[in-house]
Amino acid sequence: MQERVQAALEKIRPALQADGGDVELVEVTEDGVVRVRLVGACRGCPMSQLTLANGVERVIKEEIPEVVRVEPV
């Protein structure tokens, strides 16, 4: 599943990089939890939680339905 999550992140990455940020995959647990780290401009952005929920999590769950949730680390 890790490769599928990485592929989904590649779809999101250009939008984040356009604003000076990025996302790193930290881990995918066996129970379907994806842990990511927002970096660059996204790291301290007040909108990072919105980016995580409405951007990163939405795309990952659309691509990989067995993902239960996406958590920041």
Residue ranges covered by each domain of the chain: 2-72
For the stretch 21-29, contacts whose Cβ atoms lie closer than 8 Å and that sit 24 or more positions apart, written own/partner, are 21/45, 21/51, 23/56, 26/73, 28/1, 28/2
Residue 69: pLDDT band by 50, 70, 90 thresholds? very high
Identify the pLDDT of residue 46.
Answer: 86
Q: What is the CATH number of domain 2-72?
A: 3.30.300.130
Mean pLDDT in residue range 53-64: 92
Average pLDDT over the chain, rounded to an integer: 93
Q: Is the pLDDT of residue 66 over 90?
A: yes
Identify the pLDDT of residue 43.
Answer: 84
